[in-house]
Amino acid sequence: MDRRTFLTAAAALAGAKSSISTTALAAEGGQPVRSTPLRSTYYGPEFYDEKELEQLCDVLSKRQPFRWYGPGKQPPMKVLAFEQELAARMQTKYALAVTSGTAALTTALAALGVGPGDEVILPAWSWYACFNSIVMNGALPVFAESDTSFNIDPADLESKITPQTKVIMVVHTLGNPADMDAITAIARPRRIQVLEDCAQSLGGSYHGRPLGSIGDIGIYSFQIAKTISSGEGGAVVTNDRLLFERATRYHDLGLLRPPHQARLGGAALEGMIGNQYRMSEFTGAVLLAQLRKLDTILAALRGHARRVYEGIADLAELHLRHRPDPAGDTGSTIWLGFPSQAHRDRFSTAMAAENVPAGHPLDAALVPLQPCAEHKLTSHPLWPSFTSERGRSIRYGQECCPRTIAVHQRFAGVTLDPKYSRRDVDDIVAAIRKVYPAVIRA
Ligand SMILES: Cc1ncc(COP(=O)(O)O)c(C=O)c1O
């Protein structure tokens, strides 16, 4: 930023700051910060243009919807090209495209050798897919508390380790990297494998390393609410040759097709039982175009987030979500903490009146409280996970995560959108500066 731009930005922020302290809240009859509500939308589809169209038309015109073969003279290449570009972007040796983030989790757990008798520790603040994929692999999910980063609390995680713990599933929640140094320092000496679930944080990093590349294996989702999207889709990344071969075989009926075999330089396994989670060329085509826009989307989000954080930094008693590496946050949402749920709710009501909505974390993200966990719902009554002695002894429901519930109830977030204008972002700063102090002091 040159000096002139800096001075203009500083003047704009100073203007926003000075104008707020005297203004009555819109919820109490004052003038709202904006005349119309600020709305964010789904980043991936928001960036669809002729690039996705060209890639899709290519698949249609060549009549090659299937990733391994088709009627064309050349072999289909969209999914393969996407895998290569994703591996390069995430700085991993290997990337495997699959049908969804859930399929990616199930595949990654299978590659890590997770099965009956094993325990997998996961954060209480996560997603159904995290819990379900562990159960579907026949293992026992064990919840650890999440802290004010909304990610797994390393100290609580350590207390949940048993001789049966095979994997720690780290979920980088809502764009924010988990404290990977603390987690790997716990896992490595005990030879516990680390799976990074980056479904909600695609493009995030931790001390300069892309999320997904730090643990033994990582997964992404390309569902509509994620950083880039093809509606549905997922991927697995790893630097480990054997894990990649197992994941590849698991996602494709146990087979290792020639292009993957070539990437591995041969096969280490004779065979394997597998599922069928292959990505179609249509999905690969859209994702190829979307992946090339990932850094544009991230740069916009992070630029907006920086401006908001700078614009509210001097607020007294400001409590933000803990960010173990602020530079690695994707910048999708600004999360503000409150002394109580009542304060948080008053803040959201007042922000809505200012036409700058602040949402609450999804209740569904508290997975131990969901029927799947609380009632130990499984696909078969004899499913081994919950019928073992240890399985019967594990507590789910509210009692396994009181601290997580307390954190979850005390935060509200303003979602950013890469296509927000400078004015939109300044309105967010102005609204928070107007409402936050009023709510905290009330
Ligand atoms: C943390 C997390 N893991 C996994 C998934 C599953 O991804 P998908 O919806 O692509 O199956 C999601 C989806 O929202 C998620 O939030």
**For position 16, what pLDDT does the model report?**
46
Q: From CA 248, how far away is CA 312, in angstroms rounded?
A: 47
Q: From CA 298, how far away is CA 217, in angstroms rounded?
A: 23
**For position 395, what pLDDT does the model report?**
85
Choose among 216, 218, 185, 183: nearest CA to 200: 218
pLDDT digits (tens, 9 = 90+) for 215-235: 999 999 999 999 999 999 999
| Domain-located, residue 396 | no
First and final C-alpha spacing in the chain = 38
Of 125, 222, 223, which is best to mutate to test ligand 1, by the most ligand atoms within 8 angstroms of its C-beta? 223
**For position 21, what pLDDT does the model report?**
45
Cβ atoms of 397 and 369 within 8 Å: the answer is yes
- Report, in this order, helix, strand and coil percent for the chain, each rounded to 5: 45, 15, 40
Share of the chain above pLDDT 70, in %: 94
**What is the domain range of residue 226?**
50-293
Cβ–Cβ contacts within 10 Å for residue 40, how many? 18
Task: Tell whether ligand 1 has an atom less than 6 A from the beta carbon of residue 199.
Answer: yes
| Domain-located, residue 392 | no
pLDDT above 80: residue 2: no
Q: From CA 401, how far away is CA 112, in angstroms rounded?
A: 26
pLDDT band with cut points at 50, 70 and 90 for residue 379: low
Among 52-56, 62-66, 333-337, 377-381, the minimum mean pLDDT is found in: 377-381
Task: Tell whether ligand 1 has an atom less than 6 A from the beta carbon of residue 122.
Answer: no
| Domain-located, residue 151 | yes
Task: State whether 77 and 213 are in the same domain.
Answer: yes
pLDDT band with cut points at 50, 70 and 90 for residue 10: very low
Task: Tell whether ligand 1 has an atom less than 6 A from the beta carbon of residue 229.
Answer: no
Mean pLDDT of the chain: 93
Choose among 148, 144, 151: nearest CA to 179: 151
Distance 391 CA to ligand 1 centre (A): 25
Provide the annotated active-site residues.
226
Task: State whether 242 and 310 are in the same domain.
Answer: no
* Domain end residue (candidates: 293, 323, 352): 293
| Domain-located, residue 374 | no
Of 134, 221, 279, which is best to mutate to test ligand 1, by the most ligand atoms within 8 angstroms of its C-beta? 221
Task: Tell whether ligand 1 has an atom less than 6 A from the beta carbon of residue 200.
Answer: yes
| Domain-located, residue 379 | no
Ligand 1 atom closest to residue 225's alpha carbon, by position in its atom list: 14
* Domain end residue (candidates: 254, 269, 293): 293
Cβ–Cβ contacts within 10 Å for residue 419, how many? 14
**For position 43, what pLDDT does the model report?**
96
pLDDT band with cut points at 50, 70 and 90 for residue 14: very low
Beta bridge partners, 14, equal: none
Q: For the domain that residue 97 is a member of, what is the CATH number? A: 3.40.640.10
Share of the chain above pLDDT 90, in %: 87
Ligand 1 atom closest to residue 171's alpha carbon, by position in its atom list: 1
Residue 200 DSSP code: T
Cα angle vertex 145, ends 140, 394, to 5°?
35
Burial of 14 (0-12, 13-18, 19+ CB in 10 A): exposed
**For position 375, what pLDDT does the model report?**
84
Task: Tell whether ligand 1 has an atom less than 6 A from the beta carbon of residue 221.
Answer: yes
pLDDT above 90: residue 263: yes
Task: State whether 199 and 323 are in the same domain.
Answer: no
Task: Indicate the pTM of the whole model.
Answer: 0.94
Angle of the 101-111 helix axis to the 241-251 helix axis, nearest 10: 130
pLDDT digits (tens, 9 = 90+) for 78-131: 999 999 999 999 999 999 999 999 999 999 999 999 999 899 999 999 999 999
Residue 110 DSSP code: H
The DSSP bridge pattern shows strands 411-415 and 333-337 to be antiparallel
Of 100, 127, 150, 201, which is best to mutate to test ligand 1, by the most ligand atoms within 8 angstroms of its C-beta? 127
| Domain-located, residue 372 | no
pLDDT digits (tens, 9 = 90+) for 266-318: 999 998 999 999 999 999 999 999 999 999 999 999 999 999 999 999 999 99
Task: State whether 198 and 266 are in the same domain.
Answer: yes
Choose among 177, 205, 197, 200: nearest CA to 91: 205
Distance 310 CA to ligand 1 centre (A): 31
> Residue 237: which residues within 8 A CB-CB, separation 6 or more?
86, 87, 90, 92, 94, 95, 96, 212, 213, 217, 218, 219, 220
Cβ–Cβ contacts within 10 Å for residue 178, how many? 32
Task: State whether 334 and 190 are in the same domain.
Answer: no
pLDDT digits (tens, 9 = 90+) for 126-184: 999 999 999 999 999 999 999 999 999 999 999 999 999 999 999 999 999 999 999 99
Ligand 1 atom closest to residue 223's alpha carbon, by position in its atom list: 10
pLDDT digits (tens, 9 = 90+) for 339-362: 999 999 999 999 999 999 999 999
Task: State whether 283 and 331 are in the same domain.
Answer: no
* Residue that wins the pLDDT comparison between 275 and 23: 275
Task: State whether 234 and 137 are in the same domain.
Answer: yes
* Domain end residue (candidates: 259, 293, 327): 293
pLDDT above 90: residue 386: no
Q: In total, how many domains does the chain have?
A: 2
Task: State whether 283 and 308 are in the same domain.
Answer: no
Q: Which residue has the tokens 């995030």?
A: 204
Task: State whether 340 and 284 are in the same domain.
Answer: no
- Strand ranges of the sheet holding 217-221, from the earlier edge strand across to the other edge: 94-98, 234-238, 217-221, 193-197, 165-171, 119-123, 140-144
**For position 61, what pLDDT does the model report?**
96
Task: Tell whether ligand 1 has an atom less than 6 A from the beta carbon of residue 127.
Answer: yes
Summarize the confidence of residues 327-344 as an average pLDDT: 98
| Domain-located, residue 397 | no
Residue 178 DSSP code: P
| Domain-located, residue 369 | no
Task: State whether 246 and 183 are in the same domain.
Answer: yes
Q: For the domain that residue 353 is a member of, what is the CATH number? A: 3.90.1150.10
Task: State whether 99 and 118 are in the same domain.
Answer: yes
